[in-house]
Amino acid sequence: MELILIDDLFNKEKFQGLKASGHLIDIDKNDDLGQSGKPAGALPSASFWKERRVLVTGSAGMVGSTIIDLMIGMGAEVAGTVKRHALPDYPNVQHNVDSGKLRLYEVDMTDYNRVASLIKEFEPEYIFHQAAESFVPTSLQQPSHVVLNNCVSTTNLLEAATKEDKSIKGIQLACSSEQYGFVKDMNELPVKETNELRPTSTYASTKVFTEFIGKSFFYTYGTPSVITRTFNQEGPRRGPQFFTARIGHQIKDILSGKSDKIVMGNPNSVRDFTHIYDSVCAQIMAQEKCDRGVAYNICSGKGITTGDYARLAARTWGVKADIYIDKKLLRPYERGEALFDGFIGDNRKFVEKTGWTPNRTVVDIIRDGVKFYQDPRGFPVFGGLNIRG
C-alpha cells in the first residue's frame, strides 16, 4: 500500500471560487454545514400510496430497501426483486419479509421471460427500478458484465411493462450524476439537466443508456418513464465499497481502538451528497408529480470535497487520526496532474416541480452512517418522517 499524507495532494486553493459562490461547503463555517431537523419542504403523500401495488427492483440495496420501508409505512402493497445468492437472508429487507409485509422474488433481470412473468403475476401500478451494478470501479474492471446487467435489465423491464401491464402509471428509472462525467471547467458547476453528458465510466454510460431507452419507450409507446438523475445518496445501509462507507467503517474502527488512521483515494473529488432518507422521499415524489420522459436532478445543490468530508468525519466523531491517500484507490482519470473529478448539481427544476427540499446535512450523513456500521441490526428502520396524506 503506497500511502502519502493528505496535505501532499489536497489542493484547497483550487476550490476557492466554488466556496466563494456558495456552491461548496466550507467545513470551517458552521453556517455552511446547516442544521439538521430544519423545516422540511413537501413530503410524499401517504394517501397517494395507500394500497397501491408497488414493485421495487434491486430491493436489497440501500436505496431499494429504504424505498420499501417508506412504502410499507404509507400502506402500499409492495414486492421486491433480489438476485439469488448463497446467504440465508437479505439483511436490509429481512425485517419486512419476516413481518409478511414484503413479497420478495428472486429474479434474474436479464431473463426477459422471468421479468415478464413477474409483471403479469404482481401487476404493479408503480415500479422503482433500482437494480443495477452501481460501483464505478467494478464497471471499469468488468465493463461487459456491467453493460449486460444494467442495460439488458432495464430494457427487459420496460418491454415487459409495456406489453404485459397497461395499468402501470410510473416506472422510475434510477439514473445518475455520473452521466455528466468529465467537467471541462468549474464554471459548469452546478450542472443543470441541460448540461452535456460526458460519461467517464462504463457505469455512467449504462445510465445514459437507461435514460435514453426510457425516453425511447415513452416517445414510442407512451411507457410512463420517470427519470431521476440522483447525485450521491449516502447514509445507513451504504455498501462497504463506497467512499462514505469506507470512511464510516474506519471511524468506527478508530473509536473501538482497532485503527489509528484514515485511508482514502482522491481528496480533490467534489461530491454533492444527499442523505438517503431525503433522496428516497424525492424519488417517491418524482413518481407522484414529475412529467414522464423528462430528466430531473435530485441533489442538495451544494458540494464538498472528499478531503474535507474525511476531515469533517473525524471532527464530527472527535477522533484524532492522520489521513492518508492510497494512490491505488485512484480511478484512471484521477491519476493525472489535475486530480479533480465530480459534480455539484442544480436541483431547482425538481424543487419547483415538487416542492421538495433536503432536510438533512452532511453531518447527519456522517453520524447516521457510523451509527449504522456500529450496529446494523439495531439501527432503527426509517420511520421518523411525518408523512401526511
Rounded to 5, what percent of the chain is helix, strand, coil? Answer: 40, 20, 40
Q: Which residues contact 6 (CB under 8 A, 6 or more apart)?
A: 264, 267, 307, 310, 323, 324, 325
Any domain includes 309: yes
Q: Would the pLDDT of 365 be above 80?
A: yes
Mean pLDDT of 284-290: 98
What phi and psi values does residue 134 have, to the nearest 5 degrees?
Answer: -110, 0
Any domain includes 387: no
The residue range of the domain holding 362 is: 3-36+43-374
Residue written as cell 485511508?
263
Any domain includes 381: no
Each residue's pLDDT tens digit, 85-115: 655 678 999 999 999 999 999 999 999 999 9
Any domain includes 389: no
Contact 223, 164 (CB under 8 A): no
Mean pLDDT of 131-144: 77
Q: Express as a percent the part of the chain with pLDDT over 70.
A: 89
Any domain includes 215: yes
Any domain includes 297: yes
Q: 387 or 252, which is more confident? A: 252
For residues 221-255, one letter each, b for 16 or more C-beta atoms within 10 angstroms of the residue's C-beta and e for the rest, the string is eebbbbbbbbbbbbbbbbeeebbbbbbbbbbbbbe
Distance from C-alpha of 283 to C-alpha of 191, rounded to nearest angstrom: 19
Distance from C-alpha of 370 to C-alpha of 3, rounded to nearest angstrom: 24
Lowest mean pLDDT among 25-34, 170-179, 258-267: 25-34
Lowest mean pLDDT among 309-313, 341-345, 368-372: 341-345
Lowest mean pLDDT among 131-145, 147-161, 258-272, 356-370: 131-145
For residues 277-300, one letter each, b for 16 or more C-beta atoms within 10 angstroms of the residue's C-beta and e for the rest, the string is bbbbbbbbbbbebbebbebbbbbb
Task: Give, rounded to a whole angstrom, the gap between the first and last alpha carbons of the chain.
Answer: 54
Q: Would the pLDDT of 270 be above 70?
A: yes
Distance from C-alpha of 232 to C-alpha of 244, rounded to nearest angstrom: 10
Q: Find the CATH number of the domain harbouring 65.
A: 3.40.50.720
Burial class (CB in 10 A: 0-12, 13-18, 19+), 29: exposed
Any domain includes 385: no
Any domain includes 383: no
Q: Please report the DSSP string for 294-351 in residue order.
A: -EEEES-S-BEEHHHHHHHHHHHTT---EEEEEGGGS-GGGSSSS--EE--B--HHHH
Say what the pLDDT of residue 345 is.
97
Mean pLDDT of 134-142: 71
Say what the pLDDT of residue 226 is.
98
Q: 138 or 337, which is more confident? A: 138
Q: Please report the DSSP string for 91-159 in residue order.
A: TTTHHHHHTT-EEEEE--TT-HHHHHHHHHHH--SEEEE--S---HHHHHH-HHHHHIIIIIHHHHHHH
Would you state the cell numbers that stand for residue 171, as one nine-digit string?
416506472
Select, from the ranges 93-107, 317-331, 339-353, the one with the highest average predicted confidence (pLDDT).
Answer: 93-107
Mean pLDDT of 146-174: 95
Q: Would the pLDDT of 64 be above 60?
A: yes
Say what the pLDDT of residue 88 is.
65
Mean pLDDT of 66-85: 93
Each residue's pLDDT tens digit, 375-389: 998 998 886 555 543
**51 alpha carbon, distance to own chain's centre:** 26
Each residue's pLDDT tens digit, 203-228: 999 999 999 999 999 999 999 999 99
Q: 247 or 166, which is more confident? A: 247
Say what the pLDDT of residue 337 is.
46
What is the number of alpha carbons within 13 Å of residue 45 lying toward its C-beta? Answer: 12
- How many domains in the chain? 1
Q: Express as a percent the part of the chain with pLDDT over 90.
A: 70
Supply the mean pLDDT for the chain: 90
Q: Would the pLDDT of 83 be above 90?
A: no
Say what the pLDDT of residue 339 is.
47
Residue written as cell 459548469?
188
Say what the pLDDT of residue 32 is.
64
Provide the residue type at 379 as one letter.
Answer: F
